Amino acid sequence: MNAVGIICEYNPLHDGHRFHISEARKRSGCDTVICVMSGAFVQRGSPAVQSPCVRAEWALKAGADCVLLLPTVYSLAPADIFASAGIRLLDAAGIVSAFSYGISVPDHALHEKIASVLLSEPDSFSEELKTSLKNGAGYPAAVSHALSGQLGMTDELTAVMQSANDMLAVRYLMQNSCLAHPMLPLPVSRLYGISASSIREALASGLPVSSLPLPSYVQNSLGGTKPFDYGAMLAGQMRKADEALLASLPDTFPGLISQIMKHSATENSAESIIAKSCGKNVTRARVRRILWYAFFGITASFQQQAKEALPYLRVLGVREDRKDILSALQKHASIPVCVSASDLPGDPFAQKCAALDALAFDIQALSLQPGSSGSWFRSPLVTVT
């Protein structure tokens, strides 16, 4: 078996994703497409628009053959951890020879050059980065300036640095180059004008689902959400947070802790806390993730352990005619393959990851119709014909 991998969120899956899956299969020449997909929570720091099981079904209907879970400890994390875990999970599957990813700037060589500089961190780059930060530049701007000293400032470099998707691609390339046997990278240019974030904004504004570039099966299952005030829930959680708790979380530092504690004491919603706590070097997504870290108990030590190990390959779904993939995973994967709760490894790290995934699933279910709390790992394997 020869598979191409895709790291994804499908929040929601749209026509551009279907095009990407098709192109990944075509360009790789592989007979199998395996997706590693975020679970109940996504990288920007919020619950996904639908459950992992529903989104896995979308992926299979869009042309994927198998969908694996990106556990919550990785999906609810900064881009470098998200990307690293996705690549390592594809590698751990043991049957993936290539991986494909979307880019907005069609210059694969530039992405590789940026990845090489960021990975090797030559002295001249590090010194320029320190100088820019010392002079008051925000971190992204400082990195961009330091890179321009290495690669020359071009419109393409600026565009890559300003594109979250392209910088995620750079992170994929960095991690892939660290593998003992790197996979073949296959970039696919994103379809212009289609993005999951713009679709989520359109849905939030009240535009009819039928007017959006979504497959019919996605349109039909996006009506199952109901208003739930996660912001009030998080704000309530933060009212009882103390300095010691925040100091134990990833991505915090004293100044940010002080800001979050100050605004958590007075604001009535998470978005208000986030808006007043972020700044030039601290994004909204970063603060939003920190609030969820506090809610879920994701400590810096837990995240560090996750960076050094992988718990399992949790299979969310597989095409009915491709159940041979399950046998191939069982034979070739370097970490345990889990289809049901009975397959979970008993070591403490895997158990902690599974408990977090289950809780994240239950919390996300508060906004879904019908709610499915308590069914994680008890739901049958998602299959489509």
Every domain of the chain and the residues it spans: 3-104+170-224+311-384, 121-162, 230-302
Contact 21, 64 (CB under 8 A): yes
Residues in the chain: 385
Distance between CA 108 and CA 102 in Å, rounded? 11
Contact 315, 337 (CB under 8 A): yes
Give the start-end residues of each E strand in 10-149: 32-38, 41-42, 46-47, 66-70, 96-103
Contact 262, 214 (CB under 8 A): no
DSSP state of 21: H
Distance between CA 157 and CA 3 in Å, rounded? 31
Written as tens digits, the pLDDT of the chain (385 aa) is: 899 999 999 999 999 999 999 999 999 999 999 999 999 999 999 999 999 999 999 999 999 999 999 999 999 999 999 999 999 999 999 999 999 999 999 999 999 999 999 999 999 999 999 999 899 888 888 999 999 999 998 999 999 999 999 999 999 999 999 999 999 999 999 987 789 999 999 888 888 888 999 999 999 988 666 778 899 999 999 999 999 999 999 999 999 999 999 999 999 999 999 999 998 889 999 999 999 999 999 999 999 999 999 999 999 999 999 999 999 999 999 999 999 889 999 999 999 999 999 999 999 998 887 666 777 877 789 999 9
Which two three-digit tokens encode residue 248?
């134990």
pTM given for the model: 0.95
Measured CA angle at 236 (ends 232, 242), to 5 deg: 140
Distance between CA 81 and CA 181 in Å, rounded? 20
Contact 81, 306 (CB under 8 A): yes
Does 3-104+170-224+311-384 carry CATH code 3.30.420.40? no
